[in-house]
Amino acid sequence: MLKIYKSNFDSLREMNLTELEKGAWFNLINPTAEEINSVASVTGVPLDFLKAALDEEERSRVEIEENCLLIITNIPVMRGSDNYDALPLGIVLTTDYFITVCLEQNEVLSEFSNDTARLFHTVKRTRLLFQVLYKSALLYLKYLKQINRRTDDIERHLRRSMKNKEMFQLLDLQKGLTYYTATLRSNGIVLEKLLRLGTNAQLQHLIKIYDEDQDLLEDVIIENKQAIEMVEMYSGILSGMMDAFASIISNNLNRVMKFLATMTILLAIPTMIASFWGMNVDVPFRDSAGGFMEVSLFALAITGTSAFVLWKKDMF
């Protein structure tokens, strides 16, 4: 899908390739080969720049050509209540246009719509770049808080009942935190490189950083570092929690096995006595009218004594 926008005072004006103007924003979401070729032809951007973000495994990086600047950053996505992932977002700056490329519709770019058009301008390409990166950093923080709350909910369920379902949910959250750790670190490297590029006089035609842009970029770097600290803290907490509950589940299993072994011993005593008195030989109380009751009381006494001894040894 290809959408082309340009800021028009406090709104966004959608246009097509035939009425293209400088300062337009090309938004490519899971584009077709025809759409990529059309954008490359109109803007002069190399095809490999436009296709870079269409690889799910693409790492965060910055590439520079004479009239193009490619920034690949990983943005967070949520695919379920316990399933968090990261997705590459490609941003291309040229002297006239701002281009974004992504495999899926995402919450970061959705923030830049007609409803929020007064907060950004497609003509100010560098400012828009930093605003997109800032929204991505804030979304990481939002999802990390959701992961923390979800972890607390699962912990409360695990305290009441030990089930594999909750452990698998914690495992999914741990996997999401692992993805976020890697992507946030690589994003941080990209942000630091953009900060250095802004002072390069030879790249002023592509990325020109004003004072307000400098402050915004520094805010993005701060938020990204905060997200890294949070993900490391939550990852440590979650890892410790999984280890603790795994130990608890193992301990509960041992207690169940100990209880079953104790009950087996206690049930074996009357079974053994009944087996002895069931032999076809002379046994005590054979000719007694109350022999059955006497044998039963004898078995009960021995079983009770054994149970008391096992209870004193904390076998229950």
pTM over 0.85? The answer is no
pLDDT tier at 163, thresholds 50, 70, 90: low
Using the predicted structure, report yes or no on whether residue 228 has a pLDDT greater than 80: yes
pLDDT of residue 273: 78
Residue-averaged pLDDT of the chain: 82
Q: For the segment 256-270, what is each residue's pLDDT rounded down to a tens digit?
A: 888 888 888 888 888
The model's confidence at residue 201, banded by pLDDT at 50, 70 and 90, is low
d(CA 235, CA 218): 26
Instruction: Please give the Cα distance from 138 to 156 (Å, whole number).
Output: 28
Average pLDDT rounded to a whole number, residues 272-282 = 71
Residue 200, pLDDT > 70, answer no
Residues 125, 99 contacting (CB under 8 angstroms): no
Q: What is the mean pLDDT of residues 152-163?
A: 73
User: Tokens in use for 202?
Assistant: 């030879």
One-character DSSP codes across 114-126 = GGGGGG--TT-HH
The band of 203, judged by pLDDT with boundaries at 50, 70 and 90, is: low
In this predicted structure, the answer to whether residue 133 has a pLDDT above a threshold of 70 is: yes
| Higher local confidence (pLDDT), 35 or 247 | 35
User: Which residue, 230, 227, 223, 237, is CA-closest to 174?
Assistant: 237
Paired strand residues for 62: 71
Average the pLDDT over 174-195 and give the result: 86
Residues 228/269, Cβ–Cβ less than 8 Å:
no
Domain residue ranges in the chain: 2-250, 251-312
Our CA angle for 215, 234, 84, nearest 5°, is: 80
pLDDT over threshold 80, residue 105: yes
Mean pLDDT for 93-101 is 87
Q: Which two tokens stand for residue 191?
A: 């942000």
Question: Do the beta carbons of residue 177 and residue 231 sit within 8 Å?
Answer: yes
Residue with tokens 């970029």: 217
pLDDT of the residue at 280: 63
| Residue 43 to residues 79, 159, 296, Cα–Cα distance (Å) | 33, 58, 97
Topology of domain 251-312 in CATH is Methane Monooxygenase Hydroxylase; Chain G, domain 1 (1.20.58)
Q: What percent of the chain has pLDDT over 90?
A: 2
Query: Which residues are CB-contacts of 177 (< 8 A; sequence separation ≥ 6)?
Result: 84, 147, 231, 234, 235, 238
pLDDT tens profile 281-299: 666 766 666 667 777 787 7
Cβ–Cβ under 8 Å, residues 119 and 50: no
> What fold is seen in the domain 2-250?
Beta Polymerase; domain 2 (3.30.460)
Pairing of strands 98-102, 25-29: parallel
Per CATH, 2-250 and 251-312 having the same topology is answered no
What letter represents residue 129's amino acid? L
The tens digit of pLDDT for each residue in 61-74 reads: 888 887 888 889 99
Residue 194: pLDDT band by 50, 70, 90 thresholds?
Answer: confident
